[in-house]
Every structure is written in structure tokens, then in C-alpha cells.
Structure 1
Amino acid sequence: MLEELGLLIDGATNYAIYMLDPEGRVTIWNCGAQKIKGWNEAEIIGQDFSIFYSPSDVAAGKPRRDLERASLAGSIEEESWRIRKDGSEFLASVTITALRSGNGALRGFGKVIRDITDQKAAAAAVSRREHHLRSILATVPEAMIVMNGSGTISSFSSTAETMFGYREAEVLGRNVGMLMPESERAMHAGHLRTYLETGVRHVIGSIRVTTARRSDGEEFPIELAVGEVSIGGERIFTGFIRDLTSRREDDRKMRELQSRLVHVSRVSAMGTMASMLAHEINQPLTAIAAYLETTRDMIGDSKDGLLVEISEALQLAAAQTLRAGEIIRRLRSFVDGGDTGFRLERLDALVNEATSLGLLGVREAGISVTMTIDAGLGQVFVDRIQIQQVLVNLIRNAIQAMATAPTRHLTIATAPDRDGCARVSVGDTGAGIDAAVRERLFEAFATTKESGMGLGLSICRTIIEAHGGRIWAEAGPAGGTVFHFTVPFAGEDQ
């Protein structure tokens, strides 16, 4: 029986099993102890067990204190660092049991040691990975919801808590339908049932835009992606949800801005035309008034009743002609110097906002874009909508100029210019513009487009000059054309 017990103890090679006498000297040493600690039986029998402790533990009296604790309590268990024969340390799971005879006399101690260094390292690695995963899930913009095959929620990320307004404890164990509007719940349940019965996917593995419901009842648009995994034969679904509210609001603002810019473009075009017409019509009106006045003077103070009536009619006609001229002069004055929406604006923000509209569709057109926007230029005193209209016009012109070009690269840049101005540049790699045509580009009705009216660049010049800047075009360094315009920086009085 004792031989079989010895074989059993020696067979437990993953455990160091040994005995100590009441003074702490080693009396029995198994093969597992030799494998874990490095000493063979001949080397260790009779040695004090403090040899297994670190010098600092020995100096602190820990070996004797451990035996005292085991003697009083009958047995102690702990995790502690131990020393091998080669001096290396390992983390050990330690059990010390006091061995007593039938009359209670202490006969010694039994010790069981297990090396748990790798186990603890693996557990720590798993813990670190879990912590890293949790930190990622806590910071990603998408909400994450985990549910079982019946739609019962088992995990609800912190982003989901913020998005939906529920705490995780409020939703765990409840059906995911609680996060959907009434109209979506039945549809979702039907899709899930169909998938479980037939395997036909409707939502899983794809991204779709739908509607969700917050805890306060507010419905909001979301982008939903659902993945599936099978664990132990059980289906687990994970939903990743992105709130599209801000995107929808940005789209709405973009459409509103586009509408305003189109409106300003039309108003500016009409204003330019009105100013031109006022200038052109004023001269013939002045001539008409002069001819009427001259004819009336030629009649003089005639006594003929008919001529007197004709003279009075001529005088009235001349007065109305002068009145018409005055109305036109006022219209021109209003167009040239009317009320404006001038405000202090950051040029980089203004340009970035305009380019987000002007660059719509460039990727589909195969155009690459380089933007060099100096964020430190400071503020300008401008009508934001009008300056953005100029920039959008120049960008769209550049895109059209490269429609058939083999190389399509658009550059947009801001930089300080002379005389306290900021310069904005838009360049293309199109066919370029002939120097003679370039000189009159900014004149009304001058155009290089077959279907163009020739008013866009004229309006741009009117806007920029009204801001105290200038606009011009020059040949690009690698072909194409670069348009520049300047606007003054805001002064201290502004």
C-alpha cells in the first residue's frame, strides 16, 4: 500500500509534493518537486525549506511564520513567489498542511506546490485583451448590441447607452424590439423568424438605413450592420449602429447653403445686368430729355393754342424722362453699394465650407484634389455667402475645364498676399486659356463655354472688387489655369 502511495505521489509530476519535519527540514521529495524546483532527492533531503524562499522573505521571517500559521489553522493556501535551484523565481500556488498524530502531536508538514507562472501570464494577457477590447468598444462611434437568436439583449455598449438613453441594466434580458418604432418591430420580428426558418438573409451581413427609438420616444435615423456567430450551437447576433442624425442635419444645411448660393448667384447676375442696363439706358434718356427741352424752347412763347399745348406736353415728357433717369441712377446705386451681410469671418472655415459644396462629384469625375488651407491667416471682413459664391464658381469652372483632360488635378490654396490681403487660388490642369481671351475673361458676356452666358466671372469680379480685393487668372505652372482673388484682412476698427 505504501509503495502504491509512493508511485501515486511520484506520478503527479505537475505538482511538487514534499514533507517537512516539525523544524522545517525536508523529509520526503517527489519527482514533481525535482521537475519544478530543480533539486534531486539526494540534494534536498535534510535541507531547511527556507531555501525555497527569496532572500527578502527569509529576512522578513516568512518561512517560520508560514509554518506557525499552518500549525494554528491546520492548513493555509496562498500564491507566492518561490526560488528554483538555478536562482530563478516562479509564481507558486502553495498549500501547507500541518500533520498531527492521533493525540494531536505535530509530526510535520505536507506541502503541495504548483507552478502557475504561465497560467497567470495567460490570464493577465486575456485580461489585457478584454480590457483593450472594452476600451475600443467604449470609444468607437458605433453602438454595439449583442443579442441571442430570439432577439434578447445580452450586451449593451456604453455608446449604445448614450445613443438610446438607456442604462445597460435596463435593457439586458429584454427584446431588441424595444429600441425600434412600432412600425419597425413587427417587420424585424418577421425578418428574424424567416431567417431562422429558411436561412434567407434580409439584414444580416448587409448595411441598411432604418429608424430607431430612444428612451424618450424620439425616433432617429440609423445605419445598421448585423453580424452573426455560432457559439456552442447557439446563434449570437451583434448589431453595430451609427446615429445618422448629425449627417442628416449636415446634409440639410448643405442643401440650404446650396440653395442660398444659387439664390445669391441669380440675384448677383440680375444686379450686374441691372447695373449695366442702368448705365446704358441713362445716356439715351438724357439725350431724349435734351431733345424734348430743345423742341420746347424752339416753340417759345407762341400765342397759338395748339402750340401752347404741345409745349406743355413736351415739358411734361422731359420731366418724366428725367424722373426715369433718376430712378435708374438710384437702382444702379443700390446694386453697386447696397446693404450687405459683411461680418468677421475666419477665412479657413469659410473656404472649407465652400469647398465641401463645390467639390461634390469630383471623385466620380476622376479628379484628384490638393487643398493647402492656411489655418493661421486670421479673420477677414466679408459677406460670407458672396465670397463662397465666388469660390464655388471658380471650382465648378475648373472641374468643367478638366472634363476631357488626360490629367485631372485640382488645387485649392490660401496664403497671405501683399498689402494686408489674403489670397485664395484655384488651379486646374485643363487645356488652359489663350492669353488674349484671358484678358477679357472678367467682362460681362465674355465666355469660353459653348453654352455659357459669360456672366459668372463678371459677377465674381463685381463681388471681389466690392470687397476691396482683386481677381485675375494666369497660366498654371504645369498647364491649365490658376484663378486668384484677394480679400483684405479685418482691420482693428472692424
Structure 2
Amino acid sequence: MSRPIDDLTPVIAAAVTADRRRALILVDRHGRILSWNAGAARLFECSAANAIGGDIARFVPIGPEVGAIDALVASQSTGEAADRWLVRADQTEFVATVDVAPIDRAGSEPVFALQIEDVTDRRAAAVSLERSEAHLQSILATIPDAMIVIDERGVIESFSAAAARLFGYTEAEVIGRNVGMLMPGGDRARHDDYIAHYRQTGEKRIIGTGRIVVGRRRDGSEFPMDLAVGETLLEGHRLFTGFIRDLTTQQEAELRLKQLQSELIHISRVSAMGTMASTIAHELNQPLAAITNYMEASEDLLRQLPIDTDLLGEAVSQSAREALRAGAIVRRLRDFVARGEVERRVEPLAGLIEDASRLALIGARERGVRALIDLDPQAPLVLADRVQIQQVVVNLVRNAVEAVQGRTVRDVTITTRRIEPDRVRITVADTGGGIDPAIEPRLFEAFNTSKEAGMGLGLSISRTIVEAHGGRIWAENLKQGGAAFHFTLESGAI
């Protein structure tokens, strides 16, 4: 309801003088400016002397009906201030809230009070916030990792599109419910206790770190996931944001990779057996021939009377010893070819080296190769899968034996050294021609070989095995000639 202007004069006068934050302007029905306060002078960058008497349309465009101030009143039909573009004296534009109030004057045409506040910065901030929120929503809708926000009671407040795809729930189905619905039974029962414990003690268990946990989908199926949780305070309320990545495919790929690795190692062992077939036959022939000779001698002794029991006993004893020797050779070959699950255990390094080198050096002595073994007593044990590490030693020793063929000095040296409190180095060195510079950069890559009939898998498989054991493998040419291959294993000593 409008009031007589006489009653409002003191109020308007005080506002015109004191309010320097807002523009307070009086205009008549035709838009002629009657009053212009300091706030208007600052806002429009125009002094009162230059504004009073002029048309308000210079600063507040009101459409084609110039002077029709009623247009401003009509635009405010809701009774609330309206935002519109205004113009300063230098013709720059800005957004402002314009509040128009008619003031009756007894016996005269009414005047209108315009209260104007610059909201450009506020509008810009609002637009920026809207854009930021839209940008954030677009990010949350497209990132592959699921995101869930819960409050300090465990109630879900936000559920991204990726989370909906991962768990099979829509956002509407989970908002307002406890996040335990996304966990298996055991974790669900403990989760609220974890949150309560954190609120009471401040002890962080997963906040700020990552952990592999199990999630539960809508259909009841469970899956492994990588969970990272962050914490924030918003207007006095604690919120927890969880980023979730499904590990199902990754773990399946890792399992398949291990299976393929085991298959490849097995194939490599069988392939190595094929190349050693002739020398193995020679190695077995020696004890079998000895057994035959001792048995024939025993048969001759049995025909003679009186029987020389001492000599007969010696012949039988030697036959048994040679039979055990042949059995040991067959057993080592069977263990070498056998395929089993990878399982690291504490193994005596001396026995591991001895068994592997004996197998790799079959026939080497007949070709003039001298094998030297230098074991460090400070490195008696290693943590290893025996069969796999024997595969590495066999590969390296057999390569060394081949490297010294045709050389004047044909030495293969196997050395062990403790290089750190928890690390052991095994070295296989030879007196061959050294590593060809052309293949040295790709020495441990698959199908890289200098042998005419080689497949180039031995060193590649050796590197895979050593790295799977947490060690490393490398090679170097020696100053005195030849090459040395080194690899490391974790010590099994306590």
C-alpha cells in the first residue's frame, strides 16, 4: 500500500543521504529524475547535478515507451524486485536488482522510488557455480570409477552414474539408505561400528588410503574392488567420499597371466629336455652298463665253488649303488619336467645349485668343460620356488657351456654371494666370447637369440621367473673375457 509522500519525506531524505551502497532514486510518472543519492552517483558514475532533471531511461532502459515509468511497475507484478540490465554514464552495462515503489502525493501525480542494487558479481558467481556444478556432474557421469558420498551415520547422499552401473542400483534406490547395503554380510555388520569408532577416537583405518575390499551387487553377487576414501567437513557436517574401482577383470587377467607363465615355463622345461636327450642317454648308460657288468660277475661267482662271498657281496653292493645313481638321475629329470603351482619356500641354496648344475652339466665334462662352484657360507638359504629357480640356473649354465665350446679355456663358474642382509646374488660366468653387442640391448627379450637352432626363450623366461620372485637379472662382459649373468633372490635366512 502506498503512503502519502509527506509521511515518507524524512525517511527518503535519510536514505538518500546515508545509503551509499544502493542507488535510491525518485522519479515522476514520466521518468524525470527528482532525487539522486550518493549510492546512485557511485553506481552509475554520474553526479546528482548531471542526473537530476534528466530521463531515467538514460540509465534504466524501459522499452519503447520512453517516459512511461508504469512499464517498470508493471514488470514487477509479482511484488518482488526484478533483475535487469542497466547502463552507466560511460555506456557500460551491468546487472542490477530494481525495486519500484509508487508514492502518493496529496492532490498531485504520484512519484516513484527506485531502489537499485548492483548484482553483477553475484550473478557472475551464480553462473560460475552453475557451470562448475554442471561440469562436476558431467565428470561424475563419465569417470570410470564409481563415487559414493555418505554422511557420518553411513547414509548415502550421492551415488554416481558409474556406481549405479557397478552395483546395479539407481541413485533413487540408494539415496537415504545405509551404505552397508552395498557390502557382504560380515562387512555390513561392522561398518557402522568402524564409523562410530572413528568419530569417538579419530583413528583412521582406511580414510586417506586405499584398500582391497569386497562389494555386493544388487543381484547378490560379490566382487573385489579397490576402495579409496576421503573426508571433508561441509557446514559443520562430516562427509566421506569413496572412489571405487572394480578389480574383477584385473584379477582374472592376473590369474590367467600366472597360468600362462606356468604353461610357458613347463613348455620350456620340456623343450630343454629334448635338447638334452642324447646326453641324458649317455649319462644313464654308465650306471646301467655298470649294473650289467656287476650282475654278470655275480653270476660267474655263483657258479664257482667254493663261493667267494666277500667278492660276491662287493659286486652286489656296487650294483645297488649304480642302480641308485641311475634312479637319482631319473628322479632329477622328473622333478625338473614336473609342472606344479608356484610356491616360494625356504630352500637350501647349495642343494638347489648342486641339483640344477648337475643336470645342466650332463655331458659337459666329456667336451672338456670344467665346472667351478663357489658358494658363500653366509648365504645358505633363499626364498624360492625350487623348480623355477632350478630352471633359471639350468638355462644360464647350459648357455655358458655352449659359450665355451671351441675355446682354449672352457670354465663355467657358479658363485653365490650375500650382497645385502636380505638379498643373495647368484652368478654364472664363462670364459667364452662374451655377449654380442648387437643383441645385448635385447638380451632378455623373447625370441632374441644368437643360436642357429635356438628359440630365444630361455633368458626371457629366466627374467620372468626372477622378477616374479622379487629379484632382478642382468648380464655383463668380463674384462678378462667371457660373460657373467647375475640374478638376485630374497634370502631365506632369519
- Look up the match of 1:336: none
Matched, 1:40 2:32: no
- Look up the match of 1:15: 22
- Look up the match of 1:108: 111
Aligned equivalents of 1:62 and 1:433: distance in 2? 104
Report deviation, 1:252.
0.8
Pick one of 66, 70, 75 that aligns with 1:67. 70
Q: Does the 8 Å contact 1:70/1:76 carry over to 2?
A: no
Relative distance call for 1:22 and 1:214 in structure 2 (3 A) is same
Q: Secondary structure at the match of 1:87?
A: coil
Report deviation, 1:227.
2.4
**1:461 aligned partner, one-letter code:** A
Per-residue CA distance 1:302-342 (angstroms, 9 max, x = gap): xxxxxxxxxxxxxxxxxxxxxxxxxxxxxxxxxxxxxxxxx
Relative distance call for 1:50 and 1:209 in structure 2 (3 A) is same
**2:22 aligned partner, one-letter code:** Y
- Look up the match of 1:147: 150
RMSD between aligned residues: 4.3
Matched, 1:91 2:95: yes
Relative distance call for 1:279 and 1:464 in structure 2 (3 A) is farther
Matched, 1:24 2:31: yes
- Look up the match of 1:164: 167
Relative distance call for 1:82 and 1:18 in structure 2 (3 A) is same
Report deviation, 1:197.
3.1
Aligned equivalents of 1:211 and 1:163: distance in 2? 13
Matched, 1:137 2:144: no
Aligned equivalents of 2:482 and 2:142: distance in 1? 45
Q: Does the 8 Å contact 1:149/1:237 carry over to 2?
A: yes
Scaled by the length of structure 1, what TM-score is found? 0.54
Relative distance call for 1:432 and 1:13 in structure 2 (3 A) is farther
Aligned equivalents of 2:248 and 2:155: distance in 1? 26
Aligned equivalents of 2:64 and 2:276: distance in 1? 101
**1:13 aligned partner, one-letter code:** R
Aligned equivalents of 1:12 and 1:229: distance in 2? 40
Q: Secondary structure at the match of 1:201?
A: coil
Report deviation, 1:46.
1.1
The gaps in structure 1 that reach 5 residues or longer are 282-388, 398-402, 405-429, 443-455, 466-473, 482-494
Identify the range of structure 1 (173-182 vs 138-147) with the bigger mean alpha-carbon deviation: 138-147
Pick one of 198, 201, 220 that aligns with 2:201. 198
Q: Secondary structure at the match of 2:241?
A: strand
Relative distance call for 1:277 and 1:127 in structure 2 (3 A) is same
**1:78 aligned partner, one-letter code:** A
Q: Does the 8 Å contact 1:226/1:240 carry over to 2?
A: yes
Report deviation, 1:459.
8.8
Q: Secondary structure at the match of 1:261?
A: helix
Per-residue CA distance 1:3-51 (angstroms, 9 max, x = gap): 3541134322221111211111111212211110122222111101121
- 1:24-423 counterparts in 2 under 5 A? 24-53=31-60, 61=64, 63=66, 67-68=70-71, 70=73, 77-100=81-104, 106-274=109-277
Q: Secondary structure at the match of 2:255?
A: helix
Aligned equivalents of 1:438 and 1:35: distance in 2? 85
Q: Does the 8 Å contact 1:432/1:475 carry over to 2?
A: no
Q: Secondary structure at the match of 2:35?
A: strand
Relative distance call for 1:73 and 1:140 in structure 2 (3 A) is closer
Matched, 1:463 2:455: yes
Relative distance call for 1:39 and 1:457 in structure 2 (3 A) is closer
- Provide the identity percentage: 40
Q: Does the 8 Å contact 1:144/1:157 carry over to 2?
A: yes
Aligned equivalents of 1:230 and 1:124: distance in 2? 24
Per-residue CA distance 1:272-311 (angstroms, 9 max, x = gap): 2347779999xxxxxxxxxxxxxxxxxxxxxxxxxxxxxx
Q: Secondary structure at the match of 1:22?
A: coil
Report deviation, 1:69.
5.6
Aligned equivalents of 1:199 and 1:11: distance in 2? 52
Matched, 1:436 2:433: yes
Report deviation, 1:154.
0.8
Report deviation, 1:84.
1.0
Identify the range of structure 1 (110-119 vs 63-72) with the bigger mean alpha-carbon deviation: 63-72
Relative distance call for 1:158 and 1:71 in structure 2 (3 A) is closer
Per-residue CA distance 1:201-251 (angstroms, 9 max, x = gap): 333333221111011111001122222233344322222222111221121
Q: Secondary structure at the match of 2:453?
A: helix
The gaps in structure 2 that reach 5 residues or longer are 1-6, 285-390, 400-415, 418-426, 440-447, 458-474, 484-494
Q: Does the 8 Å contact 1:18/1:27 carry over to 2?
A: yes
Relative distance call for 1:204 and 1:62 in structure 2 (3 A) is farther
Q: Does the 8 Å contact 1:80/1:92 carry over to 2?
A: yes
Per-residue CA distance 1:139-183 (angstroms, 9 max, x = gap): 433322111111111111222112111111110100010000112
Aligned equivalents of 1:61 and 1:259: distance in 2? 86
Relative distance call for 1:19 and 1:10 in structure 2 (3 A) is same
**1:34 aligned partner, one-letter code:** A
